[in-house]
A and B are shown apart, each in its own frame.
Chain A
C-alpha cells in the first residue's frame, strides 16, 4: 500500500527549461513534505521541504508547491541544469510521528544539454 506515489519513473528535460516532478499522497494525516535528491552510489540528501500550512516554498532554483485538497505536491526546478540529473524522492510525515518519513518510488530526472 503505497501512501506516497510518484507515478512518473523518469523525466527528460533540456538544460535551461523547467523540470516539474510530481508526487501524490493518500494519507490525509500527512502534514510535512520533503524532497530528497539521490546521485548514483550515494545516499539521498535533503533538498527542500514544505509544511501543510503553506502552499509554496522556494529555495533558489527549487520551488515546491502543495495542493492539500488534491493531495498533490510538485517540485519545480528552474532553470534545469545537467547537475540536477538524479533520482528525486518525495517523502511525507504526520504530525503525530514527525520522525517517520514515508518515501515514494522516485523519479529519475535527466537534464540534457
Chain B
C-alpha cells in the first residue's frame, strides 16, 4: 500500500526562481496538509485541505507561497519567487478525516529545498 508520495526529494534552485513541490496523498484520505520543518520552528503547518478545499492557510508565510489541490490525488505547493530563507524540508501529510475523530497524520518523505 503506497504511502504519501512527494516529489522531488531534493530541489536546488537560485533565488528568484519558481519552485513547485508535488504531493500524492494516500488514496481515500480526505485531508491533506503541507508542513515545513526548520530548526528554529520545528514542523510548521502551512496550509491544509479537506475534500480538496483549502480550510486554513494561516500558516502560509507570504504571498509568494501558494497551494492547490485540483483533485483528491494531487496537490502542489508553489513558491514564486523563491528566497534563501525558504530553504527547509517541506512535508506533505494526509489523514482519513472520518469526522469528529482524532486522526493521526501520515507523512511523505519530504522535499529538501535549497535556495541559493
Contacts and interface: CB of A to CB of B under 8 A. Distances in A.
Contact of A49 (B41, B50, B93, B102): B102
Interface in B32-85: 33, 35, 39-45, 48, 50, 56
Nearest to A90: B42
B42 A99 contact: no
A51 B45 CA distance: 21
Contact of A98 (B91, B101, B109): B101
A99 B109 contact: no
Contacts of A46: 104-106
A105 interface: yes
Interface size class of B (residues with CB under 8 A): 20 to 34
Contacts, number: 60
Contact of B110 (A34, A43, A106): A43
Interface residues of A, number: 24
Contacts of A44: 43, 91, 105, 107
B40 A49 contact: no
Given A100-B56, A103-B35, A106-B42, A42 B104 contact: no
A99 B108 contact: no
Interface of A: 2, 6, 32, 34, 41-46, 49, 51, 89, 91, 93, 98-106
Interface of B: 4, 31, 33, 35, 39-45, 48, 50, 56, 91, 93, 95, 97, 100-110
